[in-house]
Amino acid sequence: MLGAGLLGGSFGTYEGSWNFGPSVESAKSVSELATRIVQAWESGSWAVQDQANQLHESTNLQLSIEKAVTVLNWLPVWDFATTVNRTVQGYKQFRPSRNSLKFQKKNWHRTIPHD
């Protein structure tokens, strides 16, 4: 819908930035996200740095998906684990081969709920 609207010239309705992410009820902390990314990547680690002389960093980050919900009637369908796993898979596909588009085309149908 967003792409079709932009291609069709409906810039007023569809222009600007868009966020697609979890609902407020499904939000996780930064530490939960970092831990899950390391697990999905199957390597790496993360640690909290000494914050004594550092700028404040939020422990929770939340995208506002209100515009996508209101204008596109969009709702997230993936749970947290699926979202992180699919995102990491996409990065892994893209990183060595620079071929993420092939991965996305192969897997796009999995993003659409089927009855």
CATH code of the domain containing 86:
3.90.25.10
Cβ pair 14, 67 in contact under 8 A = no
Q: What is the C-alpha separation between 79 and 64, in angstroms, rounded? A: 17
Answer yes or no: is 13 within a domain. Answer: no
Answer yes or no: is 41 within a domain. Answer: yes
Answer yes or no: is 22 within a domain. Answer: yes
Q: What is the C-alpha separation between 38 and 46, in angstroms, rounded? A: 8
Answer yes or no: is 87 within a domain. Answer: yes
Q: Which domain holds residue 36?
A: 2-6+18-47+57-111
Residue with tokens 């993003």: 111
Residues 6+ apart with CB under 8 A from 77: 111, 112, 113
- pLDDT one digit per residue (tens) for the chain, 115 residues: 667 666 666 667 778 888 888 888 888 888 999 999 999 999 999 988 777 776 666 777 788 999 999 988 889 999 899 999 999 998 887 765 555 566 666 666 555 554 4
Q: What is the C-alpha separation between 62 and 58, in angstroms, rounded? A: 10
